[in-house]
Amino acid sequence: MIQTSPVATIARLREHVGQVVTLRGWAVHLRSSGKIRFVVLRDGTGIAQGVLIKGHLPEEDFAAFEELTLESSLTLTGRVKAEPRAPGGFELEVSGLQLIHIAQEYPIQPKEHGVGFLMDHRHLWLRSPRQQAILRVRDEVCRACRDFFHERDFVLIDTPILTPTACEGTTSLFETDYLGRGKAYLSQSGQLYLEAAAMALGRVYCFGPTFRAEKSKTRRHLTEFWMVEAEAAFYTLEDLLALTEELVSYIVARVLAHREEELALLERDTAPLKAVTKPFPRLSYTEAVARLKEQGMKMEWGEDFGGDEETLLSRMFAAPVIVHRYPRRAKAFYMEADPENPELALCVDMLAPEGYGEIIGGSQRVADLEVLLARLQEYGLPREPFEWYLDLRRYGSVPHSGFGLGIERTVAWLCGLKHVREAIPFPRLLDRLYP
């Protein structure tokens, strides 16, 4: 007999206590005890236990339990009961069980698997409670970023992925043939386009995938990753520092407020996240180098920070640390020089605490046409593909600044992950393009 009771989701079971509902999902745990059978069901919104007592449901439905395997799909109908001892906190007194599909022997077992195996089975691994929790945190981070910018009158500008020019040099770019009309490159940043849009709309942001064809294999690198970038006309470096600080506090607060359950499942210690409050510590690059040297790091003023330096710096503070004014020569061509010391760029990196390293990079941009032309030469970049970008300095140039925040690194930090690969649904790495 087909049950016609209303379909419910597990996340909303608390609204149905005492009622008969139907749940649809997958078996994640099966257990027998005398004349009682237990099915723990997941439906994507949570888990709930179904209790089958012989005689309380049709004999055929009770017998169907014996066919169930891990990850088989089924519907359970029954009365909802709050049961603090049950997984998920609710039980269903089952009055009907319909099999949908009996799963073959499920390859991911409740035991340790190597990460290679799990990555090969990423399409199934996503079903684990831990991976689901990470993806829900990611969803919240993305929504928080968008809400943050919308509330501050930034307009969404989707910048192109296929571009004729490289923003920061032509190495580490994926290239493709553009319909037989020349090469196109996959974007590493929407920044240059955002600058154009900022001159139209004042404050803008983009949020999309970016690509780096880097042959590096670290726990912080993906070849395809998502970045939210913002650009604002009339913003100076100081305005930018305040904006990045505000954004990161906002994201952390949102995740703590809305993803408590997921963080608990991930066994994330939330104390360090709760300690992320404004103002964030601010160091100039020069101060940061001094701090690193005090800690025994061997480095010279003028060198960019590597992974080790970032890790060490980011462990010195409870909140993310804002490092500003790096040596100009270590940075990209479009960064405005510090008027107080033209060796320095008006730029910022933000390093997440607990050793997570860089999550934000940004700068005030060169506003003057002649300076920008000189920079192209200095950096050995061709002028012609940048003509449109130069136009922004020909027609009502204004001081402006922008930054990008890496989503996977932010999610890895908030979730306490060792590697960014779990922070994106289907990671792309040096040796990983499947599934």
Span 5-24, contacts to a copy of itself by CB under 8 A: 7, 9, 11, 24
Q: Closer to a copy of itself by CB, 132 or 286: give it.
A: 132
Q: Closer to a copy of itself by CB, 61 or 224: give it.
A: 224
Task: Figure out which of the listed residues 48, 184, 292, 321 binds a copy of itself, where binding follows CB under 8 A.
Answer: 184
Report if residue 428 touches a copy of itself, rule: CB under 8 A. Answer: yes
- Binding residues among 282-301 for a copy of itself as defined by CB under 8 A: none
Distance between CA atoms of 303 and 434, rounded to whole angstroms?
37
Task: Figure out which of the listed residues 90, 285, 305, 389 binds a copy of itself, where binding follows CB under 8 A.
Answer: 389
Listed residue (290, 156, 310) closest to 221, CA to CA: 310
Residue appearing with tokens 């209790």: 51
Report if residue 176 touches a copy of itself, rule: CB under 8 A. Answer: yes
Report if residue 132 touches a copy of itself, rule: CB under 8 A. Answer: yes
List the x/- string, 211-240, binding to a copy of itself by CB under 8 A.
Answer: x-x-x-------xx-x------xx------
b/e string for 285-294 if b means 16 or more Cβ within 10 A? beebbebbee
Q: What is the 3-state secondary structure (H, E, C) of 204-267?
A: EEEEEEEECCCCCCCCCCCCEEEEEEEEEECCCHHHHHHHHHHHHHHHHHHHHHHCHHHHHHCC
358 three-state secondary structure: strand
Report if residue 38 touches a copy of itself, rule: CB under 8 A. Answer: no
DSSP structural state of residue 424: S
Residue appearing with tokens 């236990």: 49
Report if residue 241 touches a copy of itself, rule: CB under 8 A. Answer: no
DSSP structural state of residue 152: T
Distance between CA atoms of 409 and 415, rounded to whole angstroms?
10
Task: Figure out which of the listed residues 20, 30, 53, 124 binds a copy of itself, where binding follows CB under 8 A.
Answer: 124
27: which 2 tokens?
A: 């078996």
How many residues sit close enough to a copy of itself to count as binding (CB under 8 A)? 94
Minimum distance, C-beta of residue 105 to a copy of itself, in the bound complex (Å): 9
Q: Closer to a copy of itself by CB, 103 or 115: give it.
A: 103
Residue 308 CB partners (closer than 8 Å, separation 6+): 297
Q: Which residues pair with 40 in a beta bridge?
A: 29, 49
Minimum distance, C-beta of residue 303 to a copy of itself, in the bound complex (Å): 27
Distance between CA atoms of 2 and 169, rounded to whole angstroms?
63
Report if residue 425 touches a copy of itself, rule: CB under 8 A. Answer: yes
Minimum distance, C-beta of residue 389 to a copy of itself, in the bound complex (Å): 8
Task: Figure out which of the listed residues 20, 30, 166, 201 binds a copy of itself, where binding follows CB under 8 A.
Answer: 201
CB 348 within 8 A of CB 360: yes
Which segment (76-84, 130-138, 314-322, 338-346) binds a copy of itself by CB under 8 A? 130-138
Minimum distance, C-beta of residue 259 to a copy of itself, in the bound complex (Å): 12
Query: Given phi > 0 = left and psi -120 to 50 = alpha, else beta, which region is 423?
Result: alpha
Task: Figure out which of the listed residues 37, 136, 325, 365 binds a copy of itself, where binding follows CB under 8 A.
Answer: 136
Q: Which residues pair with 352 in a beta bridge?
A: 357
Which segment (138-146, 257-265, 313-321, 372-380) binds a copy of itself by CB under 8 A? 138-146
Report if residue 2 touches a copy of itself, rule: CB under 8 A. Answer: no
Q: Closer to a copy of itself by CB, 45 or 270: give it.
A: 45
Minimum distance, C-beta of residue 177 to a copy of itself, in the bound complex (Å): 8
Q: Which residues pair with 357 in a beta bridge?
A: 352
